[in-house]
Structure 1
Amino acid sequence: MEKLCILALVSVLFLVPTAIAARTQDGSEDWGYVEVRPKAHMFWWLYRSPYRVEDPSKPWPIILWLQGGPGASGVGIGNFQEVGPLDTNLKPRNSTWLQKADLLFVDNPVGTGFSFVEDTALFVTDDVDAAADLTTLLEKIFNRNESLQKSPLFIVAESYGGKFAATLGLSTLKAIEEGKLKLRLGGVALGDSWISPEDFVLSWGPLLKDVSRIDDNGLEKSNSVAQEIKEQIKNGKLDDATNSWSKLENLISSSSSNVDFYNFLLDSGMDPVSSVTAIELSKRNIALNRYSRYLGSLRKSTLSPGGEGDLDTLMNGVIKRKLKIIPNNVTWGGQSDGVFNAMAGDFMRPRIDEVDQLLAKGVNVTIYNGQVDLICATKGTEAWVEKLKWDGLQQFLNKSRTPLFCGSDRFTKGFTRSYKNLHFYWILGAGHFVPVDQPCIALNMVDDITQSPAVSAPLYTRT
């Protein structure tokens, strides 16, 4: 029963013109809906940290977690699978990021997770529109809460969420400058982020050849399709590029005996994080269904005896009952297929320029990547970083990296490099889901990013 106590707290509901919200009796959690546009409803869930330290000179931070996809649920996946207070067994997570910050999970874009639209024509079709909806959400949450306004907000993203984070960062800054949003932007962190699809697909073949996963024949075929994708992106044929991306994923799979796109050391389905049953998001081809494993991530996650089963059952069962405000006709993840399909034309569009703009405006930008990720491979991330036009880039590239260690363990766990407001973390032994694969380094990276006043000793050391 103890593991369910946090779910049993009585909720208090209150209504505002375009929002419905609730909270636990002790005030440790708030959640609700914001109608970001007529008939378009976005769901959010805020956790206040029990580790909070009140320090006027160093305000306690808030992390806004953005999941990928597009169409993957931050409220479900990021919360219960990666960094939230409880895991999918509803047991406390000893590596929760609440140790360093408050956590705000959002089901973005509308139609994702518990978010929903009353008319499918209201799905967003690009990252900029998604950022506009998110900015509206932040205005509704922050503008009426002076306590939240005192905390710097750090936008932390994973996978396709990185594209949302880059556009949201700029949209947020504009809203702040125009006096529409009362918020302090602390920084943007891009984790294994799909910022430049061209650079990632070009990296797949050479990387897999280097680690003996494909041969010269597979390399030649994958490079050919990757070059085709490069030309399609250059010529603005983004729908065609998305279809070619699907073709390339199928080719990679057949050439590699089904390598796991989220950890290239494994076969597809071996990684407990990416071992999921594909939801049918699209009938177009196998590759889109394979990628949908991420959108419905961890659906085979097994709960302890007496638990709710897989993540779908958990979210649509005990969690939906706890939240109380989810409409009866809304199913968690029920509209995710529509979200992905609506954004297919923007899926392959790069957002390097947006990262450049954030850096030029002085925003702290952190990039982190798992060593054995394939879909957003470090090789591809380094390639797009080298395309930045930021005036500090050369100095950044010339700096030596600093090795990272966790606790008393003297095995190297990662490397970091920083110059001015650009920071990069290479996370060894991690795939696409860095907080799951390397929780120690991930948690302390968050400490670096947020400059949290948390009093717990750091788990890693530098030399």
Structure 2
Amino acid sequence: MGKCSLLPLQLLLLSLLLCSSSFHHVADAAAGAADGSEQWGYVEVRPKAHLFWWCYRSPRRVDNGSTPWPTVLWLQGGPGASGVAIGNFQEIGPLDTDLKPRSSTWLQKADLLFVDNPVGTGFSFVEDEIESLFVKTDVEAAEDLTTLLKKLYNGNESWQKSPLFLVAESYGGKFAVTAGLTILEAINAGELKLKLGGVALGDSWISPEDFVFSWGPLLHDVSRLDAKDAKKSNSMAERIQQQIAKGQLGDATNLWSNLEIFISSKSNDVDFYNFLLDEASDPLSLTSVESSGKFMMKTYATYLSSKASSTSGDISSLMDGPIRDKLKIIPKNVRWGGQSDHVFSSLANDFMNPRISEVDELLSLGVNVTIYNGQVDLICATKGTEAWVQKLKWEGLNSFNNMDRTPLYCDSEVTKGFLKSYKNLHFYWILGAGHFVPVDQPCLSLKMIADITHSPAV
């Protein structure tokens, strides 16, 4: 275990390059960290299966007595995409991919914990690439994540005082709702000492069926598909729906991949992260890259290795270069992202499995659930998100539906979004944003996370 001082944001670059660490490559527990510090390490969650984590303690953290300073645990998608890289350096962390301070970092409102989840993602790894060690279900991933949290929080009173908010993006939403329930179970059993503050689902792959049904009508409405091809898209979505209903989830994953390929060909490569753009014109998207014959969440887990330029080249060069040198604990035989294909392949039979019932259970248990969606996202389109929300059995749904939305602003009188809330369900519509909401609307995202976490005013 080790740490290095986290200096003010304008000095973070120097800190990144010069700070050193002295702990062994597999760390099993977290020591207390001072305000404005950072820590990282490994937890062996099962024999030969290691999760990597990185935590920043905010230099702005305050304690006003009644409202504790929150911690955000960021869960990336894919499955197989690295939160330590994408969420950290491309979205909400203190430095961007050019290793320059990010003015909109969420570190202003909360401590940030990034985990390369599940094992095999980013710097996380399984020894000898043993196939049986990769998780096969979201629930198995949740169990590993809960094991990591037990190692980090139990015995660490400083961390226990900070409520933990699971904030997810894309496939990370499925991890978040399953992990939320597993964490609560461990807390109630006295096995985990932390307070779960809430779960936030950003453009999350909660109901694959509802998303694939949204694609044809949405793209027809914005003229990226004609009526003939939109009908074909709907026909393929119906077959996916039938396969999911029959439990043929692997077949549904394969047909989902074929549907994305069909839409790309007929729309002249619409960007699945922003339907107003072509893939080639979106700085956060890849041209079509296939992995094991499948698009990985429209190359979500592989886009990270191409378009994100940095002073060291692409993000894989950043992670396997300056970042590896800074961390000093990454085993020599572990290449960042080297096992991500195994992660996706191992989860292929759970990929299309919906998690609406888990959202329902969280709501019934009184957990604060926030849903936020970018207006121009396609892969997890707002139309699909609204559809699965209406399938909730939560007793407050009718009252939620009857609530009026509140317009949202940020530093101007221009409408940036809308919010609807009833009891412990909250829904943000984020205008002008695609799949990566913190990137497209950084100001509103920062205000949103402050509201979600009840971050004390600074």
- Alpha-carbon distance in structure 2 between the residues aligned to 1:317 and 1:277: 26
What's the counterpart of residue 155 of structure 1?
166
Q: CA deviation at 1:3?
A: 5.8
Distance 1:374 1:312 in 2: 26
Instruction: For structure 2, list consecutive stretches of 5 or more residues without a partner in the other structure.
Output: 1-9
Distance in 1 separating the partners of 2:301 and 2:21: 33
Give the alignment partner of residue 332 of structure 1, picking from 318, 331, 336.
336
**Residues 1:363 and 1:20: Cα distance change in structure 2 (over 3 Å):** closer
Residue 26 of structure 1, CA deviation: 8.4
Measure the CA separation in 2 of the matches of 1:152 and 1:132: 20
2:319 aligned to which of 296, 315, 322:
315
Determine the C-alpha separation between the residues in 1 that align with 2:306 and 2:25: 35
Quote the residue 2:275 is aligned against: 264
Equivalent AA in structure 2 for residue 109 of structure 1: P
Query: Residues 13 and 20 of structure 1 are in contact (CA less than 8 Å); yes or no, is this contact kept in structure 2?
Result: no
Structure 2 match to 1:386: 390
Pick from 52, 56, 62 the counterpart of residue 65 of structure 2. 56
Distance 1:355 1:334 in 2: 32
Return the TM-score normalized by structure 1: 0.93
Counting only pairs closer than 5 Å after superposition, residues 198-213 of structure 1 correspond to structure 2 as 198-213=209-224
Q: Structure 1's 373 and 131: CA in aligned 2 closer, same or farther, altered over 3 A?
A: same
Distance 2:359 2:306 in 1: 33
CA distance in 2, matches of 1:277, 1:2: 38
Confirm or deny that 1:416 pairs with 2:454: no
Do the aligned residues in 2 keep the contact of 1:9 with 1:24 (CA within 8 Å)? no
Distance 1:27 1:425, change over 3 A: closer
Matched, 1:441 2:444: yes
**What is aligned with 1:101?**
110
The alpha-carbon distance between structure 1 residues 414 and 329, as it changes in their structure 2 partners (threshold 3 A), is: same
TM-score (norm 2): 0.94
Gaps of 5+ in 1: 456-463
2:402 alignment partner AA: N
* Counterpart residue number, 2:44: 35
Please give the alpha-carbon distance, in whole angstroms, between the structure 1 residues aligned to 2:15 and 2:33: 9
> Which 10-residue stretch deviates more, 15-24 or 203-212?
15-24
> In the superposition, relative to structure 1, how do residues 392 and 23 fare at CA in structure 2: closer, same or farther (>3 Å)?
closer
Report SS of the residue matched to 1:406.
coil
Are the equivalent residues in 1 in contact too, given 2:78–2:300 (CA < 8 A)?
Answer: no
RMSD of aligned C-alpha atoms?
A: 1.9
Deviations 1:402-433 (A, max 9, x none): 001111x1111000000000000000000000
1:33/1:42 contact within 8 Å kept? yes
Name the residue aligned to 1:458.
none
> 1-side partners of 2:457 and 2:39: how far apart?
22
Identity %: 68
Shift of residue 163, structure 1, vs aligned partner: 0.1
Pick which of 23-32 and 192-201 moved more.
23-32
Match of 2:356 in 1: 352
Alignment of 1:9-158 (within 5 A): 9-14=18-23, 19=28, 28-118=37-127, 119-158=130-169
1:297 maps onto 2:304 in alignment:
yes
Write out per-residue CA displacement over residues 342-372 of structure 1, whole angstroms, 9 at most, x where no aligned residue: 0000000000000000000000000000000
Q: Using the alignment, how far apart are the partners of 2:170 and 2:320 within structure 1?
A: 24
Matched residue SS, 1:424: strand
Instruction: Count matched residues.
Output: 447
The alpha-carbon distance between structure 1 residues 24 and 100, as it changes in their structure 2 partners (threshold 3 A), is closer
Q: Distance in 1 between matches of 2:438 and 2:333?
A: 33
- The structure-2 alpha-carbon separation of the partners of 1:26 and 1:183, relative to structure 1 and needing over 3 Å to count, comes to closer
Q: CA deviation at 1:4?
A: 3.0
Q: Aligned letter for 1:397? A: N
Q: Which amino acid aligns with 1:259?
A: V
Q: In the alignment, residue 41 of structure 1 is paired with which amino acid?
A: H
Which of 171, 175, 197 is the aligned partner of 1:186?
A: 197
Read off the aligned partner of 1:247 and give its amino acid letter.
Answer: N
Q: Counterpart of 2:298 in structure 1: which amino acid?
A: Y
